[in-house]
Amino acid sequence: MKKLLTPFIKGPLDLKNHVVMAPMTRSRAIDNLPNSLMAEYYGQRTGAGLIVTEGTAPAPEALGYPRIPGIFSQQQVEAWRQVTKKVHEGGSKFFLQLMHTGRIGHIDNLPKGTTLAGASDIKATGQIFTDTKGLQDFSAPVALSKDGINKVIGDFVLAAENAIKAGFDGVEIHGANGYLLEQFMNPNVNNRTDEYGGNIENRSRFTIEVVRAVANAIGTEKTGIRFSPYSKLGDLVLYDEQETRLTYEWIAQNLDNIGIAYIHVAVNAAIPEKTFHGIRNNFSGTIILSNGLTPETGEAALHAGFADLVAFGRSFLSNPDFVERIKNSSDLNPVDFANLYTTGSRGYTDYPITNLLSRPKINQNEIY
């Protein structure tokens, strides 16, 4: 049997297989509230041993994109419960990804009275979609003060506590894709001169403080984090290769000391082999590998020594029954790229399922 399909037990994680559904923004949370359509979507994909949700805002100013869910209000906590119930009925573990977009966003996507916050006031180059005006240049962020940093850390803690109240098994802190945590790590975005800027230890401080505070609040066994070393997402400019590796080694060592459940690494072609070794040698917990994997390359990765689990994004997006398709070596559905971020079920819950008895119901009266 493929290792992918066998049970996984390591530390606090006890999963029915080695397959993880990776976090993917889908923009179906109208008014930033989870809903029954989202419950159906995640419930369809419970072949995975672990499901990580789409990026979810821990605070109003973290809502950089349109129609992403939040976890900072009681209404949002209640709304998430229908989703966690559906996933647990399918036998999957369910982690909520906490995503603070920092400077990556636009004020039209934020509630009135809030503004973008960043490690610095350096505006990102590029554009983002808004429901009000279409594509717009990124808004200018306000550099977080020390009090502002402490508030953001508190927001992460409250959001993590809310996630547990909503029925999640844990949280994954988003430290990748050029969002707030990675903005602090990157010296080309972080121009601070206080204890949160400058050398590796200082630039890593915010990330470690967020993780430590969350782990202290909900438990190390319920805390994970996602990284994307050497990524250019979010208008990140790459910095010295050795310093980048040393940064992630330093963070991995500190996270190992805290004792969190896992590190989730989104791979890209720019990551040198030394960096993989550096993270693995400094972190004894579970490591999840993701980004562009196929069932074949995912299986190979599980035997290569770095990854304990492998995560799949687009494969789960277009194949609710992805794990069954791995078992049967079945072809995969193509992705409906035109409807990735729209508001209805098309390109979301209407993908064909091989078992006709479990095919999702489609509301024929829905207007797209």
pLDDT at 355: 62
Q: Which residues, listed in sequence order, are joined to residue 93 by a DSSP beta bridge?
A: 50
Distances (CA, A) of 18 to 8, 47, 101, 136, 239: 6, 11, 29, 40, 33
Euclidean distance between CA atoms 183 and 149, whole angstroms: 13
- Quick check: is 179 catalytic? yes
Tens of pLDDT, residues 52-107: 999 999 999 999 999 999 999 999 999 999 999 999 999 999 999 999 999 999 99
Does residue 333 lie in a domain region? no
Measure the CA dihedral 48/52/54/59, to 10°.
160
Q: How far apart are the first and last CA of the chain?
A: 42
- Checking if the pLDDT of 368 tops 80, the result is no
Q: Are strands 50-56 and 134-137 parallel, antiparallel or unpaired?
A: unpaired
Smallest CA-to-CA distance from 50 within 22, 24, 79 is with: 22
The DSSP string of 49-95 is SEEEEEEEBSSGGG--STT--B-SSHHHHHHHHHHHHHHHHTT-EEE
- Checking if the pLDDT of 170 tops 90, the result is yes
Smallest CA-to-CA distance from 56 within 144, 131, 160 is with: 160
Amino acid in position 114? T
Does residue 224 lie in a domain region? yes
**Active-site option among 41, 42, 65, 179:** 179
Distances (CA, A) of 30 to 104, 131, 220, 346: 20, 11, 32, 16
pLDDT at 107: 94
Express as a percent the part of the chain with pLDDT over 70: 96
**Domain total in the chain:** 1
Higher-scoring residue by pLDDT: 239, 160: 160
Does residue 351 lie in a domain region? no
Does residue 353 lie in a domain region? no
Tens of pLDDT, residues 309-364: 999 999 999 999 999 999 999 999 999 999 999 999 999 999 999 864 344 433 33
The DSSP element (H or E) to which 136 belongs, if any, is strand 134-137
Euclidean distance between CA atoms 130 and 105, whole angstroms: 9
Smallest CA-to-CA distance from 156 within 81, 295, 48, 56 is with: 56
Residue 228: which residues within 8 A CB-CB, separation 6 or more?
A: 176, 177, 182, 265, 266, 268
Tens of pLDDT, residues 242-285: 999 999 999 999 999 999 999 999 999 999 999 999 999 999 99
The one-character DSSP state at 5 is G
- Checking if the pLDDT of 366 tops 80, the result is no
pLDDT at 239: 83
Does residue 340 lie in a domain region? no
Does residue 18 lie in a domain region? yes
- Checking if the pLDDT of 168 tops 50, the result is yes
- Checking if the pLDDT of 367 tops 80, the result is no
Does residue 335 lie in a domain region? no
Does residue 338 lie in a domain region? no
Task: Tell me the mean pLDDT in the region 304-310.
Answer: 97
- Print the domain residue range for 182: 3-328
- Checking if the pLDDT of 230 tops 70, the result is yes
Q: How confident is the model at residue 237 (pLDDT cuts 50, 70, 90)?
A: confident
- For residue 147, give the CATH number of its domain: 3.20.20.70
Burial 233-269 (b: 16+ CB within 10 A, else e): ebbbeeeeeeebbebbbbbbebbbeeebbbbbbbbee
